[in-house]
Amino acid sequence: MTRRVVVTGQGCVSPLGNDIPSLWRALASGTCAIAPLAHPEAHFVKGVKTFAPIAPFDPEAHFAPRHLMQLDPVAQVAMLAARQAVAQAGLKEAPVPAHRIGVIIGSSIGGKTTDDENARRFWFGVAGDRTVTTNPMGIPRVMASSATSHVGMDLGFTGPSFATSTACSTANHAIGLAYWLVRAGIMDAAVTGGADICNTLSVLKGWESLRVLSPDLCRPFCAERRGLVLGEGAGVVVIETLDGALARGATPLAEIRGFGMTADAGDITKPSVDGTSGAITAALQDGGLAADEIDYVNAHGTGTRANDETETAALRKALGAHAEKVSISSTKSMLGHALGAAGALELIATIGALREGLVPPTVNFGTPSPECDLDYTPNEARKRPVAAALSNSFAFGGLNAVLALARFD
């Protein structure tokens, strides 16, 4: 018998607030966190005009000084989000053995803040001295799996634990694989999601060179779209078996119904209609869902020419005529593109839509685009019942991951 899997806890550190109620209120009201880039060396990245930074927090209020020395900011935000999710789920007090709880947290770029600091110290710390010592915790801090390890140690969970790193699909891959492992009985619960901190000079310079960034706002799916805007943060959820959640009195927030993933095996940056639509179809099939059961899609929706046109075509191919009846939105228009955290923050938005019967908007939407001709919920949230939904993530390298969810009554 297939085990049903539900979400029982959520946590976040995001550009729209560092807790779930703040994030959801902002999304529902169409608040945009994108602002002019604030970086002490912004003059070195003239091609990066805007950014969506996380809401401020004081690390020393959450971590002891000795512990803080071990933590890159990406691990800090993952731990804060995980603590929130576990507290809401009541998982630490639950009668679930620690070895049956896994931790799967993804990061696209890992500890880039530490990486930049070490490089700066090596090249510029002492003029001409290449023997200068860098941070002795540098390697543990920059590891892509650092967030997973620190979350596991912080919470004491010893089940199957690892990191994913698949660019923009990172969090969806983490959550989807955790879902499959819980459903298969490999573990009974998981703390899973994604985290990335992107406001470092090397990351900004890299994206500047790629020339896909908007000079102002993120405007997915409309004729005025000019590129993506970087964001950052962390999103973490607790998932567990439905039977286990009900037995201990936990409140299911939503049910994960299916997960699908594909690879384009084509271009490193250009998306494929076949690959992206294939992941959508795979998620529906995995969850036993028909296309006409989907009410809402949280789109990948980056605001680039190629992505938005391709995603529209993929939705039409996977959902058929029903694509005309689905409400779609890109919350990246408000949060920016948080890379490895994007899918997790978007899953949280999707759960909000399921629970509240409210579709968050695609803000900054101007003139409709002829090649993007579906309903993108422009500028204002919309009340409508949402019984089932998809959350799409499509990454550079053609790595696609889609989660299918259902409202839990």
Looking at residue 125, its pLDDT comes to 67
Cα dist from 103 to 148, 187, 204, 231, whole Å: 6, 10, 29, 24
Looking at residue 126, its pLDDT comes to 58
397: left (phi > 0), else alpha (psi -120 to 50), else beta?
Answer: left
- Give me the helix-helix angle, 342-356 and 20-28, nearest 10°: 70
Is residue 300 part of the annotated active site? The answer reads yes
Of residues 13, 169, 167, the one with CA closest to residue 79:
13
Looking at residue 365, its pLDDT comes to 98
Q: Which of 218, 222, 337, 372 is catalytic?
A: 337
pLDDT at residue 266 greater than cutoff 80 = yes
Looking at residue 93, its pLDDT comes to 86
Is residue 168 part of the annotated active site? The answer reads yes
Number of domains observed in the structure of the chain: 1
What is the full DSSP assignment across 124-181?
A: HSSTT-TT----TTHHHHH-TTHHHHHHHHHHT--SSEE----GGGHHHHHHHHHHHH
Average pLDDT across the chain, whole number: 96
H-assigned helices in 288-389: 305-319, 332-335, 342-356
The answer to whether 262 and 278 are in contact (CB under 8 A) is: yes
Looking at residue 132, its pLDDT comes to 67
pLDDT at residue 327 greater than cutoff 90 = yes
Cα dist from 38 to 25, 45, 213, 218, 245, whole Å: 25, 11, 16, 17, 43
pLDDT at residue 127 greater than cutoff 60 = no
As a whole number of angstroms, the distance between CA 89 and CA 23 comes to: 18
Domain with residue 215: its CATH number is 3.40.47.10
Looking at residue 120, its pLDDT comes to 83
132-156 per-position pLDDT tens digit: 677 788 899 999 999 999 999 999 9
Domain with 344, as residue range(s), is 5-406
Query: Residue 122 — pLDDT band, cuts 50, 70, 90?
Result: confident
Handedness of CA 103, 173, 333, 322 (dihedral sign): negative
The answer to whether 260 and 286 are in contact (CB under 8 A) is: yes
The answer to whether 268 and 397 are in contact (CB under 8 A) is: yes
Phi, psi values for residue 270, rounded to 5° = -90, 125
Q: Which of 32, 168, 198, 218 is catalytic?
A: 168
Looking at residue 119, its pLDDT comes to 87
Looking at residue 282, its pLDDT comes to 98
Q: Could you tell me how many residues make up the chain?
A: 409
What average pLDDT does range 360-374 have in this prediction? 97
Is residue 150 part of the annotated active site? The answer reads no
Q: Which of 12, 198, 300, 372 is catalytic?
A: 300
pLDDT at residue 279 greater than cutoff 90 = yes
What average pLDDT does range 255-278 have in this prediction? 97
